Structure 1
Amino acid sequence: MEFTLIFLELFFSAMGLGYPLLLSFFLIITLLGQWVGRMEGWSRFDAFYWSFITALTVGYGDLRPSCRKSKLLALLVATLGIMFTGVFVAVTVAAATEAFHHYMPGARPL
């Protein structure tokens, strides 16, 4: 339990630092999704859903762009999503690594 509390404290502290970057990615992905949704004639919710399914590389395929411009924007959404995920994973790994060093001070890195 102690390790978990240390990890959560470090994680949320680091997320506070990375918040502006993650929020920027979130907003850009959302806006691009709405733009694609407008071109494709989707509802606002469907456009939001599609943008994050694409950005997080899940890609169910239930909604997909058919216009050339929206397909190009889909590439941009996917690229931004990879960066968004990368920042989130990097913060998580850094917090876990630091928590291990706090919890087990004499331990060597793997």
Structure 2
Amino acid sequence: MQFTLDFLKVFLNGIWLTLPLLSSFTVTVAVLGLIVGRIEKWTPFNAIYWSFITASTVGYGDIRPSKKRSKALAIAIALIGLMFTGIIVAITVASATHAFEVNVGMEALTPSDDP
């Protein structure tokens, strides 16, 4: 249980520290999605849906841009999504590493010389 609490403490602190960057990525994805939606004549809901599906690199393919400008913006949205995901993964790995070091210790990583 302590491992989980240590992990969550470090994870939430990492999210808090990067919140301005993560928020700006989120707003940028939404705004670019709305721009693509206007170019493609999609509803605002479909535009936001498409932009976050694209940013998460899921890309269902149910909605897709057909104009060159929209496709260029889709690349930008995907790259922002990769950076967003990379930050979350880095925070998660750092949090798990910290919790492991505190609760299990580095001696568990080295083989014991005892027979």
State the TM-score, normalizing by the size of structure 2: 0.91
1:30 is matched with 30
CA–CA distance in structure 1, aligned partners of residues 47 and 26 of structure 2: 14
SS at match of 1:107: helix
**Percent of aligned positions that are identical:** 52
> Where does structure 2 lack aligned partners over 5 or more consecutive residues?
111-115
| Structure-to-structure mapping, 1:64-75, within 5 angstroms | 64-75=64-75
1:15 matches 2:15: yes
Residues 50-79 of structure 1: CA distance to partner in whole angstroms, max 9, x if unpaired?
Answer: 001001100000000011100100010001
**What are the residue-to-residue correspondences of 1:38-57 with 2, within 5 Å?**
38-57=38-57
Larger radius of gyration: 2
Compute the displacement of 1:106 (Å). Answer: 3.9
Q: State the match for 2:2 in structure 1.
A: 2
**Which deviations, in whole Å up to 9, do the C-alpha atoms of 1:31-62 show, x marking residues without a partner?**
00000001111111111100010011000000
Write the distance in 2 (CA, Å) between the matches of 1:79 and 1:33: 13
Amino acid at match of 1:58: V
**CA distance in structure 2 between the partners assigned to 1:42 and 1:77 by the alignment:** 17
Judge conservation of contact 1:101–1:107 (CA < 8 Å) in 2: no
Q: How far 1:102 moved relative to its partner?
A: 1.0
Structure 1: stretches of 5+ with no match in the other structure:
none
